[in-house]
Amino acid sequence: MKHILLSICLLFVTVLTAQNYSIRGTVKDSKNGETLMGAAVFLKSTTNGAVTNPYGFYSLTAKEGTYTLVVSYMGYQEISREITLKEDYVLDFELMESSEQLDEIIITAEESERISIKKPQMSVSKLNASTIKQIPAVLGEVDVIKSIQMLPGVTNGGEGTAGFNVRGGAADQNLVLLDEAIIYNTSHFFGFFSVFNNDAIKNVKLYKGDIPAKFGGRVSSVLDVHQKDGNSKAFALSGGVGLISSRLTAEAPLFKDKGSFLIAGRSSYAHLLMKGIEEIKDDKISFYDLNLKTNYEINKNNRVYLSGYFGRDVFDLSNVIKNNYGNASANLRWNHVFNDKLFSNLSLIYSKYDYQIILDFVKLDWIADIKNYNVKYDFGYYVNDKLKIDFGASGIMYNLNPGEVKPTSDTSPINPLKLEQKRAFESGLYVSAEMELTDKLTLNYGLRYSRFNRLGGQNIMNYVNNMPVVYNDELDIYEEGEETGDTFFKKSESIETFDNFEPRLGVSYQLNGSSSVKASFTKSSQYLHLLSNTSAVTPLDVWTPSGKYIKPQLSKQYALGYYKNFKDSKYSLELETYFKTVDNRIDYVDGSDLIGTNTIETEILSGEARAYGLEVLLRKNKGRFTGWFAYTLSKSEQRTPGGVAGGLGINDGKWYNTAYDRTHDISITGAYKLNDRWNFSANAVFQTGRPVTYPDGQYKYEGLSIASFSDRNASRLPAYHRLDVSATYSPKKNLNRKWQGEWVFGIYNAYNRKNAASVSFRQNDETGVNEATRTAIFGIIPSITYNFKF
């Protein structure tokens, strides 16, 4: 400890006394002008280096002298330049794609392995659009969410389910961002596809732990997705035609090469194919989405961005049951460079998620939505090569409409109902620093302060002894507490206020030039909750804020890892173990009804959750064959005692499996480049079956057979496994033609495994014997897609 403190003191003395000069600038793709995030910029034969931020900006500091400056990014040609530091420099670089594509790394924690081994950031994975494109997908539709599920520690609720689960966490515990805007529902087609159009995506970064202090509001993970800026060099057109959907992307420079734009559209046409099938010709299932982005360089130190996303799903069963839902977001950003050391980003953000159900047989129209308005200001201060400080502030205003019921005709038996709208304001302040203490030891530490104010403008129900749920000893059930009237809170009043300090700490010790050990601690808070008593996310699930009866979720995660590169980074190994706890995790009383109620607190109990596991990621990064092997051994449990409500609680207050517990999870992904025309890829998946609650007996009551059930989530579905394969054929390129195309042939679930989405129990009408029935979503699914660019 004495040596560490001495190193810190010497570092600050150096900062104050040394004569240093700075080099800053941006790194871009020479072909399309896209900024490159994660590019390494360093001075050869020194420890001085930097990694570009999400906007391609870098800054490094060194003493006066002559150096060789190196700029590298995987899949691109490296640039080396001799420089003599006698003053501050502004150097922008444009990298050319490498002509030797066989050496392209498929997936890395950071684009430069030299940096990732040394940096303290752990539990993070990055995917580029080119990587995602190679992974076989359902019906040939490239999918960001399905791709990250091939990484260790990431699962989902099964086929046909929305969302994803990270390290034993629930789907609502993931913060999903598209160009900084919150995405509340990540799925199309009820989970078959994600809302992210790969043609519009630049890169994807998933934080499973060691979450940077600039992120807040969720306790499990952060999925940070960035859209392309648009081609600033020339007009470009790309797209694809598949079996059930097509997409088209256009991008071009604007304002005399001072800006660019991108517009990408995607739409399905499954409903057109359904018209040819007599049994379902009146049904309709479709989706579309639209990505927009433009930017303008005011001058070298100022650039503005405007981006947006609009997506919708439509589900119609013979005009009897109609359901539509979708996301919309917009972000206006201003990048400003104050000087060689200080960079800032100011964002004004809007997000909305809404859904609607129309039940024509009862003349009912149900609508609900959640909207937020967000302002955030982030700063990056590059003190010197050994110290970088990030700090900033944010504020989010939430408006939640839990639901409104309207009759659609005068003959409807439905009475109009409008649930109480809910409002809240979440703010945050953060500061973090990455400090290189010695050549081997690096720290990343920070602190986030969050504050959540549940605002008035609604009635809040009061209960005897402040207990919305009570235990009935005679019936052995939990039921609604006795109401004593309600209290109206004005819009200017606060119903409840919470605040939390959230420390973040990461440390890396480099054992040698090719290996290191890392450890991290993350504390985080979550003030919004997704209420769902189903095992999978659905469009009808209810978002609700913390308040008088619902406390914020509080998480602590500890992680330890070992990282090793072999044979000049041709192979790499990542081993991580973690332990995570969550306080105030919501669970639901038996028979809970979450739809259409103003007193949601009477349907839930508060408990705790824990998850722990071991993750292994072995990668082959170079050569004709590339890919990875991922294995996760984990446990995810929760416990919900009765507490003040009385009784033992759910499952008699004992620990039980969460609905997303998967003991074993194995994923193998591979890609093989045969020649310039043919590429092959495949992935294999095996997962322990999802926990479920089965009946374990029955009894007779007044001539009826009544099922009795086992402990909650005490049983499991059968194990899940499948194999996907794909082949990509690229015709010989004609240098005189700008048009380029490729054919992608794929088979999802190649050996036709009937994986169980659910198992139900019923009595056979003919034999009277009880029997189990398995429901499977997918069998074998072939696909063919034609992709093109111009």
- Yes or no: say if 633 and 466 are a contact pair by the CB < 8 Å rule: no
Q: Measured between alpha carbons, how far is 645 from 62 in angstroms, rounded to an integer?
A: 63
- Cα dist from 183 to 172, 175, 176, 351, 354, whole Å: 11, 8, 6, 7, 11
pLDDT, mean of residues 436-440? 89
Give mean pLDDT, residues 94-101: 69
- pLDDT, one tens digit per residue, over 459-496 is 999 999 888 988 888 777 888 888 898 999 999 999 99
pLDDT of residue 277: 59
Q: Which residues pair with 620 in a beta bridge?
A: 571, 627
Q: Give Cα separations from 58 to 16, 50, 230, 350, 450 (angstroms).
A: 22, 6, 21, 28, 29
Distance separating alpha carbons of residues 575 and 730, to the nearest angstrom: 37
CB 157 within 8 A of CB 165: yes
Rounded CA-CA distance 228/202 in Å is 5
pLDDT digits (tens, 9 = 90+) for 565-607: 888 888 889 999 999 999 999 888 877 777 778 888 888 888 9
Q: What DSSP letter does each residue of 374-442 carry, written as one string?
A: EEEEEEEEEEETTEEEEEEEEEEEEEEEEEEEEESSTT--PPPEEPPPEEEEEEEEEEEEEEE-SSSEE
Query: CA-CA distance, 647 to 643, in Å (whole number)?
Result: 8
Mean pLDDT, rounded, for 428-457? 94
User: Rounded CA gap, 315 and 286, in Å?
Assistant: 7
pTM listed for this prediction:
0.91
Query: 114 is written with which tokens?
Result: 């030299």
From the list 54, 58, 50, the residue with the least C-alpha distance to 35 is: 54
- Residue 3, SS3 per DSSP: helix
State the residue for tokens 């035609």. 241
Cα–Cα distance measured from residue 498 to residue 120, given in angstroms and rounded to the nearest whole number: 31
pLDDT in tens, 325-336: 999 999 999 999
pLDDT digits (tens, 9 = 90+) for 309-325: 999 999 888 778 888 99
How are beta strands 494-512 and 20-29 bridged, if at all? Answer: unpaired
Q: CA torsion, points 11, 17, 18, 19, in degrees to nearest 10? A: 150
Over 470-506, what HEC string results? Answer: EEECCCCEEEECCEEEEEEECCCCEEEEEEEEEEEEE
The residue whose two tokens read 């990408």 is 264
* Residue 302 confidence (pLDDT): 94
The pLDDT assigned to 705 comes to 67
Tokens linked to 157: 């609720």
Distances (CA, A) of 759 to 171, 444, 775, 776: 22, 47, 6, 9
Instruction: Provide the pLDDT for residue 278.
Output: 56
Residue with tokens 């009237």: 485
* Dihedral Cα 543, 548, 549, 554, nearest 10 deg: 70
pLDDT for the residue numbered 616: 96
pLDDT surpassing 80 at residue 729: yes
pLDDT tens figures, 490-505: 999 999 999 999 999 9
Q: What pLDDT digit, counting tens, does each position of 644-678 carry?
A: 777 778 888 899 999 889 999 999 999 998 888 99
The CA distance from 634 to 202, in Å, is: 31
The confidence score (pLDDT) of residue 156 equals 84
- Would the CA dihedral through 537, 538, 543, 548 be positive or negative? negative
Reduced to 3 states, what is the DSSP secondary structure of residue 200? helix
How sure is the predictor about 407, in pLDDT bands with cuts at 50, 70 and 90? confident
Residue 298 has pLDDT above 70, yes or no: yes
- Residue range 191-241, pLDDT digits in tens: 778 899 989 998 899 999 999 999 999 999 999 999 999 999 899 999 999
Predicted local confidence at residue 274, as pLDDT: 63
Higher pLDDT, 666 or 701: 666
Angle at 423 between CA 417 and CA 424, to 5 degrees: 155
